[in-house]
Amino acid sequence: MKFMKQQLRGSIALIIATIIWGSTFVAQSVGMDHIGPFTFQAIRCALGALILLPIIWIVDRIKKPQDSKNFLSRWADPKLWKASLLCGIPLFLAANLQQMAIVDTDAGKSAFLTAMYIVFVPIIGIFWKKKPSKWIPLSVLLGVAGLYCLSCVGVTKISTGDLLLLGCALAFAVQILFVDHYANQVDCLRLNCLNSLVCAVLTTPLMFAVETPAWSAIWSSSGSLAYAGFMSMGIAYSLQIIGQKDVEPATASLLMSLESVFAVLSGWLILQERLTLWEGIGCLLVFGAIILSQLPDKKLSK
């Protein structure tokens, strides 16, 4: 019974996270009307780390109200800093590749291409000595067919944005595997706070080197930045880490794949984005590949 409650709690946390992430594609798209991708990500990640500090303090006070030094002492864990770097670097790559791609790619299409990380997770897991399911080869074929429909039908060449999103999906797959490895070993909220901080610190030099951020432009994007920072980086990524503690990786990946569905719905409702027939078929094929990649293998289960 306790295990079932943990599974349910973890599943609910991951579903809420996917809803937030799906709608964040709209915020990312709208925010790009005024500022560049590196400026958006640097500020977004800094806001994510900032909002988590008071939350962590409150949680520490609830857990150990008699220990006033608990807030500072728990930051000294070397494993926490190692995990934050290993999770933060692929997150930095994934977030910035995704943001650059959104410059010329619809929110819904971006979400489905990003969701290919679900297929990449078990493939990369081979190098982590995790035997993949027998469904992976068919899943990859479906994914490639879906990518062809999304990116190649009716166009003369694959767009740069599509390639950036595939790189983003690969980086997210690595980040998910690191989170899965460290989620039960370190404090989840602190991991996400430092995770976001690493991403912000690494992105800030790129912001000043490539772009010329202006306060007026940043203020014009304040609503999108606040949602993407506080809700996506602060709340949703914390829910991901908490959820992955209670849900096995295959189930967690499957639940997180719903992000692409919520992104398409958000883009349709808010931005009036429409998919072409071939793009719709591509989305269905990619989603089919995602589901197939998570089907249990009876031999592996035994």
Per-position pLDDT tens, the chain of length 302: 666 677 778 888 888 988 898 888 888 888 888 899 999 999 999 998 998 888 888 888 777 666 656 667 788 889 999 999 999 999 999 999 988 888 777 766 777 777 777 777 777 777 766 666 677 677 777 777 776 776 666 555 667 887 888 899 899 889 888 888 887 888 888 988 998 999 999 999 999 999 988 899 999 999 999 998 988 888 887 888 788 777 776 667 667 777 777 777 777 777 676 767 777 787 788 777 767 766 665 544 44
pLDDT confidence of residue 249: 66
pLDDT confidence of residue 302: 46
Threshold 0.95, pTM exceeds: no
Taking alpha carbons only, the member of 283, 291, 300 closest to residue 113 is 283
One-letter identity of residue 266: S
Are 299 and 151 contacting, i.e. CB atoms less than 8 angstroms apart?
A: no
Residue 38 token pair: 């590196």
Between CA 13 and CA 300 the distance in angstroms is 27
Taking alpha carbons only, the member of 84, 147, 125 closest to residue 286 is 147
| Element of type H or E holding 28 | helix 2-31
Between CA 238 and CA 190 the distance in angstroms is 9
Taking alpha carbons only, the member of 170, 10, 49, 161 closest to residue 100 is 161
Are 123 and 283 contacting, i.e. CB atoms less than 8 angstroms apart?
A: no
Are 86 and 143 contacting, i.e. CB atoms less than 8 angstroms apart?
A: no
pLDDT confidence of residue 158: 65
Are 74 and 190 contacting, i.e. CB atoms less than 8 angstroms apart?
A: yes
Between CA 175 and CA 180 the distance in angstroms is 9
From residue 144, give the alpha-carbon distance in Å to each of 15, 149, 229, 285.
26, 9, 32, 9
Q: Residue 110: CA atoms inside 13 Å, Cβ hemisphere, count?
A: 31
How many Cβ atoms sit within 10 Å of the Cβ of residue 163? 14
Between CA 106 and CA 265 the distance in angstroms is 12
pLDDT confidence of residue 96: 92
pLDDT confidence of residue 293: 66
pLDDT confidence of residue 89: 94
Taking alpha carbons only, the member of 89, 90, 174, 171 closest to residue 127 is 174
Any idea what DSSP says for residue 133?
P
Taking alpha carbons only, the member of 33, 28, 29, 35 closest to residue 214 is 35
